[in-house]
Amino acid sequence: MKLQFLGAAGTVTGSKYLVHAGNDSLLVDCGLFQGFKPLRLRNWDKPPFDPSGIGAVVLTHAHIDHSGYVPVLIKKGFRGRVYCTEATADLCHILLPDSARLAEEDAERANRLGYSKHHPALPLYTERDAAAALRHLVTVPFGHDFEPVPALRATFARAGHILGAATLRLSSGRMTLAFSGDLGRQHDTLMRPPEPMPRADFLVVESTYGNRSHENHDPDAKLGEVINRTIARGGTVVIPAFAVGRTQTLLLAIARLKATKKIGAATPVFLNSPMAKDATDIYRRHRSEHRLSEADCEAMCRVAKIVNSIEESKQLNLSREPKIIVAGSGMATGGRVVHHIAAFGPHAENAIVFAGFQAGGTRGAAMVCGAEEVKIHGNYVPIRAEIVALGNLSAHADSGELMAWLKGFEKPPRRTFVTHGEPAAADALRLRIQDELGWDSHVPEHLETVALER
């Protein structure tokens, strides 16, 4: 068996692993690179393999940095099946068309306003391409063995990160290779904890928070404080949020804050993401994966007014009424939230609240690090609003939680590959694995290939 790291090596995005077993090969995850421009440009590069020669794709979950390259792969000749859990398929039916729509809108706007260096600017893929990709999805239940290619057996277990998120175990009969995917937290508000993985010969583990611990505070209380002081000064709270996971956590937190009168019950709340509304509805269909009661789901769905049209979205920017706006995307890389940041970011009475990891090179990371201006649609927008980061709302396991999951192995893997983290985070987790567990661990480089031998 051979393993090549085509993404998420030296960075936290673009998860993509090429596995060779005998005469067969498959991709584990097929994500887009996000963040710094040199990373985003990789999405346009010719793949370092022949897509038509890949037997299958196996997705650990639906986030775009794990699934968003599938339409490109199919455009370039892949004809196999894309295996995933049922909830991952449901979410891909929302996220992939939305990713395509945003790409098309960005290209149209760049051509109309003339700020692209490309003439004409083109989307990476279209909604038609996304629809074609969805026809390749094949769902597999958690805990059921399946055969994505003849040389490998595979099994999904719950990873607890978002709905449908899975760890993956591949077996050639002679050895096993496991992938953590993105691991969730032990005591997440929404999701049940990740299931343990007892053994594997080789392991690929994520390290998004490999050098950090989540803050030890009540995130709902901190969110309430930000909302109260912003509303008191007549401002608007803008919350960039991932449509899957963070939006639902935030809506539930706001509903509880209102119910307990910790924020004003009359404070207007707007969800400017029809996609997030659809994702919220999916929680009703997958009750076994999360902790929410029916009452929680109802509160989460009722607390915000859904903004459906672009005209309604524009009206929010013109209104100076104190309010809360939750909108995609979570790292402010695109979508409607960037228009809200352009409108409210320059004014000190407002607040922009980030509720998840901000990858390097994104607008979110820049603002959290104190940037005085960010570039939006070709123009530089000054940032005078209060910037708040709620790290404790992350859906990723922190360093201690990653170690707790690793300690669940009955026998050490022969080698552990640390990926899906910024360089400092990945190396910190590598050292911790070596020092505390005594395991052989390695941080691979982009495009590195390793032979997995018994």
* Residue 208 vs residues 38, 148, 340, 359, 421: alpha-carbon distances, Å: 20, 28, 27, 9, 4
Q: Which residues contact 98 (CB under 8 A, 6 or more apart)?
A: 243, 275
* Residue 283 vs residues 65, 90, 396: alpha-carbon distances, Å: 21, 10, 19
Q: Are strands 2-5 and 16-21 parallel, antiparallel or unpaired?
A: antiparallel
Q: Which residue has the tokens 């990160």?
A: 161
Cα atoms in the Cβ-side hemisphere of radius 13 Å centred on 391:
12
User: What is the predicted pLDDT for the residue at 208?
Assistant: 95
**Token duo for residue 54:** 């890949």
For residues 441 and 439, what is the distance between their CA atoms, to the nearest angstrom? 6
User: What is the predicted pLDDT for the residue at 216?
Assistant: 79
Q: Give residue 422's identity as a one-letter amino acid code.
A: E
Under 8 Å between Cβ of 286 and 163: yes
**Token duo for residue 142:** 């958690």
Which CATH class name applies to 2-212+395-451?
alpha beta
User: What is the predicted pLDDT for the residue at 308?
Assistant: 83
Query: Phi-psi category of 431—alpha, beta or left, where left has phi over 0 and alpha has psi -120 to 50?
Result: alpha
Residues in the chain: 454
What's the CA dihedral at 231, 237, 243, 244 to 10 degrees? -60
Provide the whole-model pTM. 0.90
User: What is the predicted pLDDT for the residue at 172?
Assistant: 94
User: What is the predicted pLDDT for the residue at 237?
Assistant: 97
User: What is the predicted pLDDT for the residue at 298?
Assistant: 83
Cα 358 to its chain centre, rounded Å, is 10
* Beta strand spans in 69-175 (E): 81-84, 137-139, 146-149, 152-158, 166-171
Helix (H, G, I), strand (E, B) or coil at 99: helix
Nearest CA among 106, 108, 16, 11 for reference residue 64: 16
Q: Which residues contact 284 (CB under 8 A, 6 or more apart)?
A: 297
CATH 3.60.15.10: which residues of the chain?
2-212+395-451
For residues 145 and 141, what is the distance between their CA atoms, to the nearest angstrom? 9
CATH 3.40.50.10890: which residues of the chain?
219-393
User: What CATH number has the domain spanning 219-393?
Assistant: 3.40.50.10890
For residues 154 and 267, what is the distance between their CA atoms, to the nearest angstrom? 49
Nearest CA among 327, 339, 421 for reference residue 98: 327
Q: Which residue has the tokens 């590195």?
A: 448
Q: Give residue 293's identity as a one-letter amino acid code.
A: S
Mean pLDDT per 10-residue segment, the chain (454 residues): 97 97 96 93 95 97 96 97 97 93 86 80 94 98 97 97 96 96 92 94 97 85 95 96 84 94 95 78 86 86 88 92 91 88 97 89 93 93 95 86 97 97 97 97 98 88
Under 8 Å between Cβ of 247 and 276: yes
Q: Which residues contact 190 (CB under 8 A, 6 or more apart)?
A: 245, 248, 249, 252, 283, 290, 291, 292
Query: In degrees rounded to 5, what are phi and psi of residue 422?
Result: -60, 155
Q: Which residues contact 342 (CB under 8 A, 6 or more apart)?
A: 317, 376, 377, 379, 381
